[in-house]
Structure 1
Amino acid sequence: MLNRLLPPPGTARILTLATLVNTLGNGAYLTCSVLFLTRSVGLTPVQLGVGLGVAAVLGTLLSAPLGYVADRVGPKGMQIGALLVLAVVYSGMVLVNGFWSFVVLACVIAVGEAAGKGSSGAMIAGAVPPAQRIELRAFVRSVNNGGIALGALLGGIPLLLDTRAAYVAMLLGNAGTFLVAALILSRADRVPVLPVPADGPRLVALRDRPFLVFTVIDGVMASTYNEILSIGLPLWLATQRHAPLWLVTAALLVNTLGCVTLQVWASRGVDGIRDAGRIGRRGALVVGASCVLYGLTAGLPVWAVCALVLVAGAVHVLGELWLSTATFSVVFGLAPDWAQGQYQGTYTMGRQIGNMVTPPALALLVTAGGTAGWVAMGAAFAVAGVVYPAVVRWGRRTRPGVTAEDLATV
């Protein structure tokens, strides 16, 4: 019974434990970072936004090349190196005294995170046989969500104290989790570096058109279903003046509990990329249905709004679980084994693009469109769900050795 609740022994469990430790610190930092940088350092909101934007662009541009480096030097060394660099940089955040020092450190953090994401995906791909990759990735996502949630609770302590000393303690504690995660990861097996084909491009992921199309579609969808609860629902409930704002917390709790407890369940029985199109279509349609349910709360009595938001939150998390499972299947399934890191890095670029376009689009749809805006968002998910299997089939058709019978299963 216990083995079903844990990833396989060895490197898989080591990766999961390192993720848990690291995300505890990340959750605390995410909770406190804005107030630390504005209240303690003295940055204006505009300076904060510009600095984070510059860092995000740099991290996006370097994601694929850093993933390529992880494939060539080995993802274990790359990931440990990224963790150590981030430990130093987060410690250095206590010395930030103005805009330019913040921009420099934010850029280094963005590069370190990009290196860590590509190498982490390649580590997962090399830690277990191909048939077990999706389930291990589900374990890691589940632990990632749980760690961030617990870290956010810990981050509430510095927020309550609201002193520079408390924020500095949080920063140093976060840096410490990177060091501990690197130490844990040092016990993992080394993932062998596979030879690159001599007759092809090195950055093959950036020339893989079906994968790039998938990356944009899936990345925007993933960013949207994440931001619905942090941007869309709060703005919506604020305009529905009779709706209690604590519903945002309740919906986030439903989402977090679902992602932590059900992600592995959602991944079991999925036959890799063969099932990815079907699972992705189902997930997109279900998230689209949740958007419509959120929109139908307009003008309802308080008790009905509460009930419908909680139902919509449960529907939302189911769709999110299926979509994330499909994402794992496609990214692992389309990448050649020698290029897992660069494919993981390239997919990160799609997520970053989504993170840039989703917030303003959501805000406009919810505040200006009302119920019609939510319905339009649901329709967009439905269209993406219909397109999803075709994009997956296109990607599979361009892989060597795939037969017409294989494509019929998508």
Structure 2
Amino acid sequence: MTIRILPPPGAPRRLAAAQLSNSVGDGAYYVCSALYFTRVVGLPPAQIGLGLTVAWAVGSVAGVPLGALADRRGPRGTSVLLALATAAAVASFLAIRSFWPFLLAACGYAIAQCGLAAARQALLAGLVPPAGRTGVLAHLQAMLNAGLALGAAAGGLALGVDSAAAYRAVFVLDALGFLLCAALLARLPAVAPAPVRPAAEPRRAAVLRDRPYAVVTLLNAVLLLRMPLLSLALPLWIVERTQAPGWLVSALFVLNTGAVMLFQVRMARPVTDLASARSAVRGSGRIMLACCAVFALSALPGSATAAGGLLVLGAALLVAGEMRQSAGSWQIGFGLAPADRMGEYQGFFGVGVPVARTLGPLVLTSLLLLWGIPGWLLLGAVFLAASYAMGPAVRWAAAAAEGRAGQPVRPVVRSF
């Protein structure tokens, strides 16, 4: 298992260490943050939801200019600064006592996180040859899940103690994790900034003028609506619509995390170019349709055992679809981005994550809990349609990129 999780020595392994360092703290933060803000800070749940929605909306907009900054100033230094900014934002939560400071801190956290994601993608693109990027990202995803699992266990201890000091210790752990992440990123080889562009070039970001890439990004955002399924929609579905026991929510989370740790690298191995990426995304759409149908069946009258079995099967299909979609989208996001605008394009492509975090809970709870079984089937059909639409959209974007460059996109890489 260790061999599967760890990437090759050198820059990929240091990137993985940086990923692990901040994901442990994030895992504990995700488990405890809601209770900290309600019980310790004293914010009403409605204000917490509003603040986080606004914060991730702001963060999604900030990803493009911060990614462009990484292109101009160099992705390593920008990544280090944004990791430090994330640590400062997490630490600032310890000082808030009312809504407006909470909103400012949450916006700072979301902006730094979205910018860090774009800058780290640009850094990876500069350090890893194109053929190896999807494989390295698969290793990073496995390390992310390992870190989240360890962090969730630490957060569980804090929940057991259920004191203000325990919750504050979780935020300190998360801030220290990002400080360590910054230190590890600073030890990576430098990647040269992109060449200076002509002054006559339009001021608006190039990615915002790239309509084919925007369509690809939109379709990817639709496919990422699967993200709140496991954390929000499915727990509510299990408790309110099925006969299955509530503890199954935790078991399904463990199943998902463990499967990604063990199999994400293997699932990503066949994805080496845009053609195989399109195939992986189409396959993920078919799997997600089956997954949604199985989850829908779990609400039919029957025993708790039957409902639990269907939910476990649906969760297995969910993680299989997730891994295929992730591998395909990584290859697509990198393969269609110009080498000299990698941070800018990755910042835009990564908008799907905060969009899923912002709109996903509202969309999924309304669709699934209000419509029930028809809602699940409609959601599966949406996943299938978006996955099949990705093929022609990627071909359109690739043709547009070749037309602009006069030749196929071949990102510049540095050895490590």
The residue aligned with 2:414 is none
The residue aligned with 1:79 is 79
Q: Tell me the distance in 2 between the aligned counterparts of 1:332 and 1:241.
A: 41
Q: Report the alpha carbon displacement of residue 201 of structure 1 after superposing the two structures with TM.
A: 4.3
**How does 1:276-355 map onto structure 2 within 5 Å?**
276-297=277-298, 298-355=300-357
> How has the CA–CA distance of structure 1 residues 47 and 390 changed in structure 2, closer, same or farther, with 3 Å as cutoff?
same
Q: Tell me the distance in 2 between the aligned counterparts of 1:101 and 1:137.
A: 35
The residue aligned with 2:219 is 217
The residue aligned with 1:369 is 371
The answer as to whether partners of 2:158 and 2:170 remain within 8 angstroms in 1 is yes
Q: Report the alpha carbon displacement of residue 210 of structure 1 after superposing the two structures with TM.
A: 1.3
Where 1:398 maps in the other structure, the secondary structure is helix
The answer as to whether partners of 2:63 and 2:114 remain within 8 angstroms in 1 is yes
Q: Report the alpha carbon displacement of residue 284 of structure 1 after superposing the two structures with TM.
A: 1.3
Of 359-368 and 36-45, deviating more is 359-368
Of 164-173 and 288-297, deviating more is 164-173
Q: Report the alpha carbon displacement of residue 153 of structure 1 after superposing the two structures with TM.
A: 0.8
Where 1:399 maps in the other structure, the secondary structure is helix
Q: Which amino acid aligns with 1:215?
A: T
Q: Tell me the distance in 2 between the aligned counterparts of 1:249 and 1:211.
A: 37
Of 260-269 and 355-364, deviating more is 355-364
The answer as to whether partners of 2:28 and 2:170 remain within 8 angstroms in 1 is yes
The residue aligned with 1:30 is 30
Q: Which amino acid aligns with 1:194?
A: A
Runs of 4+ residues deviating >3 angstroms: 1-5, 196-202
The residue aligned with 2:250 is 249
Q: Report the alpha carbon displacement of residue 139 of structure 1 after superposing the two structures with TM.
A: 1.0
Q: Tell me the distance in 1 between the aligned counterparts of 2:401 and 2:355.
A: 26
> How has the CA–CA distance of structure 1 residues 295 and 168 changed in structure 2, closer, same or farther, with 3 Å as cutoff?
same
The answer as to whether partners of 1:227 and 1:358 remain within 8 angstroms in 2 is yes
> How has the CA–CA distance of structure 1 residues 4 and 170 changed in structure 2, closer, same or farther, with 3 Å as cutoff?
closer
Of 364-373 and 326-335, deviating more is 364-373
**How does 1:42-53 map onto structure 2 within 5 Å?**
42-53=42-53
Q: Report the alpha carbon displacement of residue 365 of structure 1 after superposing the two structures with TM.
A: 2.1
Q: Tell me the distance in 2 between the aligned counterparts of 1:84 and 1:165.
A: 23
Q: Tell me the distance in 2 between the aligned counterparts of 1:399 and 1:270.
A: 20
Q: Which amino acid aligns with 2:267?
A: A
**How does 1:68-147 map onto structure 2 within 5 Å?**
68-147=68-147
The answer as to whether partners of 2:256 and 2:315 remain within 8 angstroms in 1 is yes
Of 354-363 and 186-195, deviating more is 354-363
Of 48-57 and 116-125, deviating more is 48-57
Q: Tell me the distance in 2 between the aligned counterparts of 1:87 and 1:354.
A: 23
Percent of pairs with identical residues: 36
The answer as to whether partners of 2:4 and 2:265 remain within 8 angstroms in 1 is no
- Which whole-Å deviations, capped at 9, do the CAs of 1:268-314 have from their partners, x for residues lacking one? 12222231211111111111110001111221322221211111111
Taking structure 2 as the reference length, the TM-score comes to 0.92
Q: Tell me the distance in 1 between the aligned counterparts of 2:242 and 2:321.
A: 28
Q: Tell me the distance in 1 between the aligned counterparts of 2:296 and 2:333.
A: 32
The residue aligned with 1:386 is 388
Q: Which amino acid aligns with 2:82?
A: A
Q: Report the alpha carbon displacement of residue 167 of structure 1 after superposing the two structures with TM.
A: 1.6
Give unmatched runs, 5+ long, in structure 1: none
Q: Tell me the distance in 1 between the aligned counterparts of 2:136 and 2:340.
A: 19
The residue aligned with 2:413 is none
Q: Tell me the distance in 2 between the aligned counterparts of 1:269 and 1:367.
A: 37
Q: Report the alpha carbon displacement of residue 351 of structure 1 after superposing the two structures with TM.
A: 2.6
The answer as to whether partners of 2:89 and 2:105 remain within 8 angstroms in 1 is yes
The residue aligned with 1:261 is 262
**How does 1:2-21 map onto structure 2 within 5 Å?**
5-21=5-21
Q: Report the alpha carbon displacement of residue 4 of structure 1 after superposing the two structures with TM.
A: 5.8
Taking structure 1 as the reference length, the TM-score comes to 0.93
The answer as to whether partners of 2:227 and 2:356 remain within 8 angstroms in 1 is no
The residue aligned with 1:169 is 169
Q: Tell me the distance in 2 between the aligned counterparts of 1:183 and 1:333.
A: 29
Q: Which amino acid aligns with 2:297?
A: L
Give unmatched runs, 5+ long, in structure 2: 409-416
Q: Tell me the distance in 1 between the aligned counterparts of 2:23 and 2:217.
A: 25
What value does the CA root-mean-square deviation take over the aligned residues? Answer: 2.0
Q: Which amino acid aligns with 2:269?
A: R
Q: Report the alpha carbon displacement of residue 402 of structure 1 after superposing the two structures with TM.
A: 10
Q: Tell me the distance in 2 between the aligned counterparts of 1:356 and 1:88.
A: 23
The answer as to whether partners of 1:240 and 1:299 remain within 8 angstroms in 2 is no
Q: Is 1:357 the equivalent of 2:359?
A: yes
> How has the CA–CA distance of structure 1 residues 106 and 356 changed in structure 2, closer, same or farther, with 3 Å as cutoff?
closer
Q: Report the alpha carbon displacement of residue 326 of structure 1 after superposing the two structures with TM.
A: 0.8
The residue aligned with 2:207 is 205
